[in-house]
Amino acid sequence: AKDSHNTIKKEFSGFVNVRGAREHNLKNIDLTIPRDALVVFTGVSGSGKSSLAFGTLYAEAQRRYLESVSPYVRRLFHQMAVPEVGSIEGLPPAVALQQQRGTPTTRSSVGSVTTLSNLVRMMYSRAGDYPPGQSIIYAEAFSPNTPEGACPTCHGLGRTYEVTEQSMVPDDSLTIRERAIAAWPTAWGGQNQRDILVTLGYDVDRPWRELPQKDRDWILFTDEQPVVPVYPGYTPEQTQLALKRKEEPSYMGTFSSARRYVFHTFANTNSQQMKKRVMQYMLSTDCPNCQGKRLRPESLAVKFAGYDITELSRLPLKQIANTLQPYAEGTALDRAQRNVAHPEQAIVAQRIAEDLIARIKVLLDLGLGYLSPERSTPTLSPGELQRLRLATQLYSHLFGVVYVLDEPSAGLHPSDTLALLTALEGLKKAGNSLFVVEHNLDVVRHADWLVDVGPEAGEKGGEILYSGPPEGLQQVTTSQTASYLFNNSKVHPHTPRTPAGWLRLSGITRHNLKNLDTEFPLGAFTTVTGVSGSGKSSLVSQVLVELVAEQLGQALPTEEEEGEALERAAPVPSGGHITAGMESIKRLVRVDQKAIGRTPRSNMATYTGLFDHVRKLFANTKMAKARKYDAGRFSFNVAKGRCENCHGEGSVMVELLFLPSVYAPCPVCHGARYNAKTLEVTYRDKNIADVLGMTVDTAWEFFEEEPLVHRALTVLREVGLGYLRLGQPATELSGGEAQRIKLATELQRAQRGNTLYILDEPTTGLHPADVEKLMVQLDNLVEAGNTVIVVEHTMRVVAGSDWVIDIGPGAGEEGGKIIAAGTPARVSESRESKTAPFLKRFFR
């Protein structure tokens, strides 16, 4: 065995040696992995793959890099904690392409992330067609984010905003006192404006519509800001009297018309919530000067291939490449004549077109040809964004670095996986190392080296089960990965259910879906498939969700960040309605991978409601009763019970000169979060902090006799989260963990049926063994009389569903049609479907 190990080792040029890795759940592990190779990390969710690849290897590479730069530069980095590891030798500098869960914070577009935009601007500046007499303008003048480029009317936003009497006074039968001017601030701010109007002599007790138009216009639109004495609490009569007597006012108030207030808030507030509130009262239209193209007229006058730069940036990448092809080849007809006069311009055009096509080709190879450069990144899925960054790396020509990637296959249809492998191969050939966390077995099979972490999650994981070429894993009996990798037939025979009815949709229009009709079986489990960009999310996560929510009168959960996206985007044309089936849907639930909370104050125990029961148990103990502690006392969010030094956070921020601040355990409660008095209360010898420190598995045994708590814990175990600690902060949980907590919260509710569950790629981040657990839970939901609709790429899941809707055939304009719909076996027979060949494996 030793000999074969040595021959294996000779194939690689060098190795990274890790000694004593202890980050998170890692059990003091030693590991040797090759450089200049594709190394894939596998293992069930929570086993420790990310702790090893990102938390240890990448963190250490970054730490070393940062040591070499000045403290000033260091501050600019979002620094990771120093990893818990003995030593690492032979580690090259690293670039992480980690998936961002949730919405990216910075505003950017496909063109800017890939740097294509810079090149396109250069092309317009240096090789564009200028109108006669216009002199050449710099590349910056083609960016709406520069003063040289921005349209002067809309300042580069592309949209202009106005307010009208109707938009700000939705109900004109109300009086000003009854808040007729809805656009004014709520609470004190609004009262203040009202009191100012009283001082100014306006009638605030007459219905708005009965006030003279002149007064209404002044109140809503004036730019004047009179400062007047205010007598809050006085009636209008008392106020007038007080004025006459020159009585000392409570304060001097400044008037602000509703329009002034709305625009001022919109332009100046830092709060997305405020911004969103005032946006309700604004009407927005495409800017009349630039028609929403955001650039000044001189810039838009420059054309290339007949397009202005905005028009070009709105085309899908694939079409841009086709458009540029003749210019790269020097065969473009519109150029022939001018080329004779300006040969230097022809050369520039050819060079830039060639370069652009080469870069776009990489994006096409990664299955992203349907995106347009103008598309904003917050509208992309995390998988799409990661592949964009990967493509950018592919043509940045770095070598000698390790790329650390997090499930690059996420969101990819199996027919696109080969392209991904080719891209990874390209990086490797250029002399780089690839460390990839991945669950997709097609990618795992292509690894040069496999590191399997396990055997289970959390404390029961964190060990290296195997490290070596993939074939060798077959011998490792403790590995859950091995049984899926080498035993493909492991899929349970499944007889599709007969639908209880149909949810029918008609005339669906959104993005690439054009007047589509479709139907989803009720009381069944449906998977929606198709290549990336075919229209699955537009159909399921957008149109279906919106239409059902509207019919149920259920508000859509809105994102805090949405304000900014709304501000820029023109409303998407959309259409469609539900024609049948709503009578059996009473509730809509989306189970996504977004975090269950944004602060360390939320955790699994609080989110699921489990902690409420636990706190009651503590409040019911003899000691708590004697001391008159109620359930609130046992919350670390409530002042009475929590540690005052850290306000219940368990940690405190330490400011370091010249270095990013770090969190350290609270010196008073040592991370317990509670004050000493609260901790004196015990329930069966454990205090409340001890309980939060328990894993679900431990707590499940501990609370065996408490049915409410026990039931919640049972469901959490069933979805595979037995390893998590009850108090683990929401911010430390992965997307997959967050999703399963949401699912568990649903499952522990009394099963009422008639709920529509919608999930978008729920298997992202899940090992095949976890996927199986997820399937069981989804099945339970359907058995209880609910409907489940899932967007999915994992064929194992598709094969196990009751009904498949395959969208395609391609992406973007080449997609958006229903190619096949039926039972999985039926769809696997389709000749047109790109999904069919991959589904077929399960029906032989």
Cβ atoms of 484 and 795 within 8 Å: the answer is no
The one-letter code for the residue type at 796 is R
Query: Quick one: what does residue 646 bind among Zn ion, ligand ADP, none, with the CB cut-off 5 to 8 Å set by partner type?
Result: Zn ion
435 binds ligand ADP (CB under 6 A): no
- By a kind-dependent CB cut-off of 5 to 8 A, residue 151 interacts, out of Zn ion, ligand ADP, none, with Zn ion
| Contact status, residue 22 vs residue 46, Cβ threshold 8 Å | no
Q: What minimum distance in Å lies between the beta carbon of 732 and ligand ADP?
A: 4
* Nearest CB to ligand ADP, comparing residues 455 and 470: 455
State how far the Cα of 335 lies from the Cα of 305, in Å rounded to an integer. Answer: 9
Pick from 189, 188, 196, 191: nearest CA to 252: 196
Q: Which of 645, 615, 590 is nearest to 727 (CA)?
A: 615
- Return the DSSP state at 646: T
* Closer residue to ligand ADP, CB minimum distance, 45 or 239: 45
The answer to whether residue 518 forms part of the interface with ligand ADP (CB under 6 A) is no
The structure tokens listed for 568 are: 């820029």
> What residue 615 binds from ligand ADP, Zn ion, none (CB within 5 to 8 A, per partner kind)?
none
CA distance 92 to 633: 51
Residue 532 touches which of Zn ion, ligand ADP, none (Cβ within 5-8 Å per kind): ligand ADP
Q: How far apart are CA 307 and CA 374, in angstroms?
A: 14
Q: Minimum Å distance from CB 811 to ligand ADP? A: 6
Using the rule CB under 6 A, give the single segment among 38-46, 63-71, 140-148, 501-509 that binds ligand ADP: 38-46
Span from 146-154, 274-282, 532-540, 702-710 in contact with ligand ADP (CB under 6 A):
532-540
Residue 153 binds which one of Zn ion, ligand ADP, none, with CB within 5 to 8 A depending on kind? Zn ion
Choose the one of ligand ADP, Zn ion, none that binds residue 47, judging by a C-beta under 5 to 8 angstroms depending on kind: ligand ADP
24 touches ligand ADP (CB under 6 A)? yes
What amino acid is encoded at 832 in this protein? E
Helix pair angle (707-718, 735-748), 10° resolution = 140
Fill in the per-residue mask, 351 to 390: x = in contact with ligand ADP (CB under 6 A), - = not in contact.
-------------------xx---x---x-----------
CB of 237 to ligand ADP, least distance (A): 56
- Residues forming contacts to Zn ion in the complex (CB under 5 A) are 151, 153-154, 287, 289-290, 643, 645-646, 666, 668-669
3-state secondary structure (DSSP) of residue 787 = strand
Q: Choose from Zn ion, ligand ADP, none: what does 511 bind? Cβ within 5-8 Å by kind.
A: ligand ADP
Tell me whether residue 99 or residue 787 sits nearer to ligand ADP (CB atom).
99
* Alpha carbon distance 444, 437 (integer Å): 9
Positions 473 through 512 that interact with ligand ADP (CB under 6 A) = 511-512
Size of the site for ligand ADP (CB under 6 A): 31
Strands 227-230 and 251-254: antiparallel
Task: Print the binding letters for residues 758-797 with ligand ADP: x by CB under 6 A, - otherwise.
Answer: ----------------------------------------
Question: How far lies 456's CA from each of 31, 110, 496, 742, in Å?
Answer: 18, 38, 32, 21
> Is 532 among the residues that bind ligand ADP (CB under 6 A)?
yes
Residue placing its CB nearer to Zn ion in the complex, 41 or 124 = 124
- Considering only 29-37, 47-55, 164-172, 556-564, which stretch makes contact with ligand ADP by CB under 6 A? 47-55
Map tokens 């299955």 to a residue: 367
Q: Is 732 in the site for ligand ADP (CB under 6 A)?
A: yes
* DSSP assigned state of 455: S
Rounded distance between C-alpha atoms, residue 736 and residue 3, angstroms: 41
Q: Are 566 and 558 in contact (CB under 8 A)?
A: no
**DSSP string over 242-307:** HHHTTPPPSEEEE---HHHHHHHHHHH---HHHHHHHHTT-EEEE-TTTTT--B-HHHHT-BBTTB
Among 16, 33, 37, 48, binds ligand ADP (CB under 6 A): 48
Please tell me whether residue 800 binds ligand ADP under the rule CB under 6 A.
Answer: no
Q: Which does 668 bind (CB under 5 to 8 A by kind): ligand ADP, Zn ion, none?
A: Zn ion
Task: Pick what 287 binds: ligand ADP, Zn ion, none; C-beta below 5 to 8 Å, kind-dependent.
Answer: Zn ion
Residue with smaller CB distance to ligand ADP, 51 or 167: 51
Please say which residue, 25 or 257, places its beta carbon nearer to ligand ADP. 25
- What Cα–Cα distance (Å) separates residue 329 from each residue in 273, 323, 699? 52, 11, 69
Is residue 47 a contact point for ligand ADP (CB under 6 A)? yes
Q: Which of 39, 45, 94, 113 binds ligand ADP (CB under 6 A)?
A: 45
CB 796 → ligand ADP: shortest distance, Å?
A: 19
List the single partner that 613 binds among Zn ion, ligand ADP, none, CB under 5 to 8 Å by kind.
none
Interaction mask 673-712, ligand ADP, x per CB under 6 A: ----------------------------------------
Could you tell me the smallest distance in angstroms from the CB atom of residue 512 to ligand ADP?
4
The residues that bridge with 41 in the sheet, in sequence order, are: 437, 451
458 binds, among ligand ADP, Zn ion, none (CB under 5 to 8 A by kind): ligand ADP
Instruction: Decide: is 812 part of the binding site for ligand ADP (CB under 6 A).
Output: yes
Give whichever of 34 and 533 is closer to ligand ADP, judged by the CB atom. Answer: 533
Q: Give the position of tokens 């080329």.
A: 339
CB of 499 to Zn ion, least distance (A): 50
Q: How far is the CB of 370 from ligand ADP (least distance, A)?
A: 4
> Count of alpha carbons within 13 Å of 550, Cβ hemisphere only?
10
Residue whose entry in the numeric block shows the structure tokens 């009578």 = 583
Neighbours of 590 (CB within 10 A): 17
The alpha carbons of the chain give a radius of gyration, in whole angstroms, of 31
740 Cβ contact partners less than 8 Å away, ≥ 6 residues apart: 719, 720, 721, 774
What's the closest the beta carbon of residue 475 comes to ligand ADP, in angstroms? 22
Query: Which of 754, 127, 802, 219 minimizes the C-alpha distance to 526?
Result: 802
Pairing of strands 463-468, 525-529: unpaired
Cβ atoms of 232 and 190 within 8 Å: the answer is no
Residue 407's nearest CA partner among 774, 719, 53, 740 is 53
538 binds, among Zn ion, ligand ADP, none (CB under 5 to 8 A by kind): ligand ADP
Return the number of the residue (48 or 408) whose C-beta is nearest ligand ADP.
Answer: 48
Contact at 8 Å (CB) between 468 and 450?
A: yes
Helix axes of 382-394 and 417-429: crossing angle, nearest 10 degrees = 30
Q: How far is the CB of 217 from Zn ion (least distance, A)?
A: 27
Distance of CA 822 to the CA centre of its chain: 31
The residue (of 228 and 569) whose beta carbon lies closer to ligand ADP is 569
**Residues in contact with ligand ADP by the rule CB under 6 A:** 24-25, 43, 45-51, 370-371, 375, 379, 457-458, 511-512, 530, 532-538, 723-724, 732, 734, 812
